[in-house]
Every structure is written in structure tokens, then in C-alpha cells.
A and B are shown apart, each in its own frame.
Chain A
């Protein structure tokens, strides 16, 4: 069974940093691209970032480019999202999601999400 479990969310002040983790199981992690998607309270889905299976290809959404860094540790089956210079508008549930194959494929499995709240 495919499982994705995010952690690391919480309350952080504007300008602060946070690192999210997503531990996966049930599939061969290093064969698939992985992505982060977020959802602000009461709002729609926003694509954040994607990383290829080997980490060599990375893309970001415009609203997080230069502030967020996606990475992965294939030996630990873990995906990361390092978030810096956080703003109130980054408040959202952050989902990690598995790509069906490479970086130009749909997202077929999603984690339960972790809530990030940026507030003073």
C-alpha cells in the first residue's frame, strides 16, 4: 500500500523558516518524481514544486521561487521542503504527492497533509 506521511508543520512567525518532511512507503521511492502542493484555508489547490527521481530536475511555482527548496533523500525514502522568508500567504496545508512517473506526469497518490501557519 502506498503511504505518504508529512510532518514538520506548525506555527512560525513571518520571516521565519520551517522544513517539511514526507516519508513514503509502499513503492520504490527512487523511481518516481515527487511534488508538493498546498491549499490555503478555504481555498483551492496550488502547485508548489517538483523534483525528479534522482533530484537532477527541480521546478517551483512562481510564488515560492527563491524562498523554498525541494530536496529528497532516496536512502531514507524522504522528501523535503525547506521554506524560508515565510509570509502570511504561505499559510496552508502542504501535501506531498507522488508523480505517476517522471516530472511531466500526473500526481497519483497524496499524503494527509501538514498545516503551516505563518502568524505573529
Chain B
């Protein structure tokens, strides 16, 4: 199975900060990588697919990059509505696997 790791596990940031989250796969997954945002008590929301493609309706402050084993999610200017937990997921090989999540909170 492909193991997904994320770093950091949590981070504190201020409004307007640029935030970067890293996701690493235990083996190459090409660009079969998605990012999700989940707010407390809410349903996960798709942000990015194919490592760098923005899901319809998602603001352009979110961007993704990477290929192979190393990926990043960047929020260009953090806003109050962006405080949440972010998960990466690989869909290259079964069983599909999620990263453990990165919680972004207010500094």
C-alpha cells in the first residue's frame, strides 16, 4: 500500500500569510493526488485534483504542485474561512490512501 505523510501536522498562521503544506507518497504516484479541506463538523471539500488542477468554484488563492512523490498545497493569502484541516489523497493505486491531515489555525 502507498503511505501518505503530511507536514507539518499543524501550523499556526496569521491572516494574510502565505501557507504551504507538504504531502509525500511512499512511492511514485505521478500526479494522481488530490487535496481536500475540512472544517470542524463539516463535510470534506475538494480543492485540487491531478496535483495542480483547481476544482470548479475553488478560489485561485489555492494552488497545488508536484509530481511523483512530493507535493505541496499553497494558500497565497490566508483568510478567516481558510482555517481548517487539509488532507491529501492518492488515487493512483488501490487501496487509495489519505494523508493524516494538517490543521491550520490562527496564530
Contact = CB atoms under 8 A, between A and B. Distances in A.
Interface of A: 37, 44-47, 50, 59-62, 95, 100, 104-113
A109 B101 CA distance: 19
A105 B22 CA distance: 21
Nearest to A61: B95
B50 A106 contact: yes
Contact of A45 (B36, B49, B95): B36
Nearest to A48: B95
Interface in B1-40: 1, 32, 34, 36, 38
Contacts of A60: 95
A47 B46 contact: no
A45 B97 CA distance: 9
Interface residues of B, number: 24
B71 interface: no
A68 B36 CA distance: 25
B49 A104 contact: no
Given A106-B34, A108-B55, A59 B46 contact: no
B91 interface: yes
A104 B101 contact: no
Most B C-beta atoms less than 10 A away, residue of A44, A62, A95, A112: A44
B1 A62 contact: yes
Given A44-B100, A62-B1, A106-B91, A111 B43 contact: yes
Nearest to A62: B95
B43 A47 contact: no
B89 A47 contact: yes
A39 to B, nearest CB: 8
Contact of B43 (A44, A50, A104, A110): A110
Contact of B94 (A45, A46, A59, A110): A59
B36 to A, nearest CB: 7
Contacts of B62: none
B100 A104 contact: no
Most A C-beta atoms less than 10 A away, residue of B43, B49, B99: B43
B101 A44 contact: yes
